[in-house]
Amino acid sequence: MGDDGGAAVIALLLGSALALPLYAQRSGRTCGNCHVSPTLEDPDGWENPELMERKCTMTCLSCHVDPTGGGLRNASGRYFGGSTLGMVGSRERSYSDVDRDLLTPGVIWTWRVKLSNPPKGEVDGRTVPSDRAEVEAGVGQGQTGNTYAMGRHRKTTDMAFWDGRYGSLAADPVVQVGGDVRFAWYSGTGAFFPMQLDLHGAVHPVHHLTVAATAAGRQTGPTGPSSPVYMRRAYAMLHELPGMSWARAGAFQPAFGTLLDDHTAAVRTLFEMDGSKSVNTVTGVEVGTAPNYPFASVSVFANDASWAGSDPDTGWGAAAQAGWRDLAWSLTGHAMVRRRQRLGQGDLLAAGIGWGLSPRQTWEGVPVTWLGEVSAGRRDVGDRTSYPAAAMSELSFLLRNGIVLKSRSDVWTEDLASIQQRHGLALQVTPLPGITLEATGRMLVTPKGTLRPDALLQTHLWF
């Protein structure tokens, strides 16, 4: 980079793969974004199960192995990425979205055939199960064409994902791998650099137990001698429990606030939720539940996760979140405390609220999604006390399938003495599943009213 200032700017831009609330809020209006409907083959369809037996949820664990977001995608998340995100999909697109295709049906079909990974041989009879009895009778078996998953369980449970409901994907594999790689160019330094290098893996040897980890390239300098790789997450988890509940222990990032794909947002950086910093990984236990629309989680942790290669810190902490994520709207509350005997980053007490709105649930002609958050807290470092606060508002407009226009405004203060603002506009294009391109232009407004423009170009490769 040529100077420490440039390196600091790049470090600020680094982030991790996320299960974005934007995706959940935008897609809640149709089940076809996440799985194949059994009514395609069964006129009687799906019996609406009791609340505690429903697998459908608007929270992060609907698409990711990590229940609070980020990292390895499960069968539902892979199906969503293949059916919904791209201009061209590898899975059947929901009927509610086909009228927003930019390319012709012929072109889309040609590329879908090239991208799809169908099972070997012919599958006799029905391929989409409607209930567990049909799963145990063999309906859906053989639909296991996922390149990044191996093995399958002979028997299933009510809360496990079922083969056949996700096209040719292995719904509940024994071993899964995945990855997220980002490259970026930042106008502030004129540098092209690797923004993210993550490799994910999970082993699911028996029902209700998964061991998962993410090895991440260290992008910020450690406080002491360390390897260039650390474990962003490494935990054992009990799951597939009633009400989409879970309990895990190990290294993870506590749940607080709104997950964004831009970790320069003040609602993330001011409250130690910047996913690029290994010091923000903690060691602890977490329990949570997400039965359909309500959700809640609580974690207690030690700030030190140096055993996983993270930068060491001291003391303890706790985080909690709860709320309601409905098809067209969401409202959440979150809180966190960190106590480090005034060492390291000091003591932190913070809380906030977040929300989302998707009018497309009611009006198909309004493909707009709004996310917002307001968070504030108190930080004590030595004899110095500060009061960080931040607000974020993001609007997302789906121009066409795979083409999204986003605008975001951030307002924040670190000490109540000065207020800064940043307003930006981004164009995001996903031509094919696994490839996302984004161009962002932003304007920083300093406390003195000075305007400082910058731009960021990035490529996200994911599988």
Model confidence over 57-88: pLDDT tens digits? 889 999 999 999 889 999 999 999 999 999 99
**What's the pLDDT score for residue 433?**
93
Kindly report, residue by residue over 79-113, the tens digit of the pLDDT: 999 999 999 988 888 888 888 899 998 998 888 88
**What's the pLDDT score for residue 304?**
82
Q: What is the mean pLDDT of residues 397-422?
A: 94
Q: Decide if pLDDT at 283 tops 60.
A: yes
Q: Decide if pLDDT at 404 tops 70.
A: yes
Q: Is the distance from CB of 324 to CB of 330 less than 8 angstroms?
A: yes
Helix H or strand E encompassing 427:
strand 420-432
Q: Decide if pLDDT at 9 tops 60.
A: no
Work out the pLDDT band at 3, boundaries 50, 70, 90: very low
Work out the pLDDT band at 397, boundaries 50, 70, 90: very high
**What's the pLDDT score for residue 114?**
81
Work out the pLDDT band at 122, boundaries 50, 70, 90: low
DSSP conformational letter for 256: -
Q: What is the mean pLDDT of residues 311-321?
A: 88
Report CA-CA distances (Å) from 366 to 93, 408, 417: 19, 18, 40
Q: Decide if pLDDT at 4 tops 50.
A: no
Q: Is the distance from CB of 335 to CB of 319 less than 8 angstroms?
A: yes
Q: Is 47 exposed, middle or buried (0-12, 13-18, 19+ CB in 10 A)?
A: exposed
Q: Decide if pLDDT at 437 tops 50.
A: yes
Strand, coil or helix: what is 258?
coil
- Taking every pair of Cα atoms in the chain, the longest distance, rounded to a whole number of angstroms, is 72
**What's the pLDDT score for residue 380?**
92
**What's the pLDDT score for residue 458?**
93
Task: In the chain, count H helices and then E strands.
Answer: 6, 18
Start-to-end Cα distance in the chain: 30
Q: What is the mean pLDDT of residues 206-232?
A: 78
**What's the pLDDT score for residue 307?**
79
Q: Decide if pLDDT at 5 tops 50.
A: no
Work out the pLDDT band at 10, boundaries 50, 70, 90: very low
Kindly provide the b/e burial profile for residues 164-192, where b requires at least 16 CB atoms within 10 angstroms of the residue's own CB.
bbbbbbbbbbbebebbbbbebbbebbeee
Q: What is the mean pLDDT of residues 258-267?
A: 84
Q: List Cβ neighbours of 255 (8 Å cut-off, separation of 6 or more).
A: 68, 69, 286, 288, 297, 299, 319, 321, 334
DSSP conformational letter for 83: I
**What's the pLDDT score for residue 219?**
61
Average pLDDT, the chain: 87
Strand, coil or helix: what is 5?
helix
pTM (global) more than 0.75? yes
Q: What is the mean pLDDT of residues 378-385?
A: 90
